[in-house]
Structure 1
Amino acid sequence: MFARISLPSIASLFLSFLVIALPGCSARIQVLPEPVVEQTVLRSGPLCPTSWFCSQGKPGSLNFKGILNNKTGDKPLFIEYYMSSFEESFPIGISIKLDQTWHNLRKTSTDFGDTVRVVSILPADLTDKVLNAKEIQLSFSSRDNTTTFALSASNADGLKSLLKDLKEKLDAQSKLMITNH
């Protein structure tokens, strides 16, 4: 009268249901948002005008940073200066003297850690002046003091070379095409 259903036949019935039902479930399209690349960052090598041993992020080192903003196509340049967090109070900014004229650079950020990184924008018109300057002096100010030093001829040439190479690489970057298919 009643058919006996064994455990193996229940398992095979369930397995058959899964085989039939799963292809329909997995055929749905999944929408996965992808991150949009908003910018590309390029950094030059470091320059340490007051030290023989130089590395990126070492107190007393500086480097240039360039950003390609993918939304607008803008390509601003920045100078980053690193100082010891134990030696300085709150940093105020960076100034650069090109030949006989001082230029105060607008500070964009300050990052605190083992070293303090002060980032200031380098305006486009000033970039050309740096590349053509005969004498370069840098000044880094905090609330307590200002450190100013003149770059030697070899350090000035090194600074110009770093800036020129970064600017060329940044100018060669093209705006990324992002498409949605």
Structure 2
Amino acid sequence: MIRSNFSFLQVSILTAFSAVLLNSCSARVQVLPEPVVEQTLFRSGPICPGAIFCSVGKPGSLNFKGILVNKTGEKPIFLEYYMSSFEESFPIGISMKLDQTWHNLRKTSTDYGDTVRVVSILPTDVADKLLSAKEVQFSFSSRDNTSTFTLSSSNTDSLKSLLKDLKEKLDSQAKLTITNH
């Protein structure tokens, strides 16, 4: 009698083990999430109109930022302007005068910290006009006032060079693909 229960127990364990083994060896496709780089960021060096020393994030500095959006292949370019957090009230936006035409740039974000960073999108047509402009003025507006800066010819050339280099790097960047070997 004990012997028959023992073989029933053995058969039950063997059946359970076989079911687990067969289930784990099924031919179903497993979906495993892969790490995906959603965007690649490019940032130009800064220019600081009217300043001797210049660095990224210094109040009064300008620089460009380009992003390769890997999902869509888009390559937008942004203009970043930094100012002291104590300098201005609520920032409204940035405008650029290229030769005789003003272009209002759509503000996309404002980051607050030791400095305030105002980020505006630079449309492709405005970027192309900037590269061929002879005279460039930059204007920043807050709730209280508007500050306008006329860039010197060397600052204008530097700004054009920074934009050209960023566009070349951004255009040469291909959409990333992930392959398994």
TM above 0.5, yes or no, is: yes
Distance of 1:177 and 1:56 partners within structure 2: 31
Report SS of the residue matched to 1:103.
strand
| Gaps in structure 2 of 5+ consecutive residues | 1-20
Q: Note the alpha carbon deviations across 1:112-138, whole angstroms, 9 max, x for none.
A: 000000000000011110000010000
CA RMSD of aligned residues (A): 1.9
C-alpha deviation, 1:34, in angstroms: 3.6
Report SS of the residue matched to 1:134.
coil
Q: Which residue of 1 aligns with 2:178?
A: 178
Superposed, which structure 2 residues align to 1:47-66 within 5 Å? 47-66=47-66
Q: Which runs of 4+ in 1 moved over 6 A?
A: none
TM-score (norm 2): 0.81
| Gaps in structure 1 of 5+ consecutive residues | 1-23
Q: Which residue of 2 aligns with 1:109?
A: 109
Q: Which residue of 2 aligns with 1:41?
A: 41
Distance of 1:34 and 1:47 partners within structure 2: 39
Report SS of the residue matched to 1:178.
coil
C-alpha deviation, 1:103, in angstroms: 0.3
Report SS of the residue matched to 1:166.
helix
Q: Note the alpha carbon deviations across 1:84-143, whole angstroms, 9 max, x for none.
A: 001110101100000000000000000000000000000001111000001000001110
Distance of 1:121 and 1:41 partners within structure 2: 14
Q: Which residue of 1 aligns with 2:169?
A: 169
Distance of 1:33 and 1:92 partners within structure 2: 41
Report SS of the residue matched to 1:75.
coil
| Percent of aligned pairs sharing the same letter | 80
Distance of 1:52 and 1:146 partners within structure 2: 23
C-alpha deviation, 1:179, in angstroms: 3.4
Q: Which residue of 2 aligns with 1:75?
A: 75
Q: Note the alpha carbon deviations across 1:133-173, whole angstroms, 9 max, x for none.
A: 01000001110111101000000000000000000000000
Q: Note the alpha carbon deviations across 1:35-82, whole angstroms, 9 max, x for none.
A: 311000000001101211100000000100000000000000000000
Distance of 2:177 and 2:50 partners within structure 1: 43
Distance of 1:180 and 1:121 partners within structure 2: 36
Kindly tell me the number of residue pairs found equivalent between the two proteins.
Answer: 155
One-letter amino acid of the counterpart of residue 121, structure 1: I
Distance of 2:166 and 2:94 partners within structure 1: 20
Report SS of the residue matched to 2:56.
coil
Report SS of the residue matched to 2:127.
helix
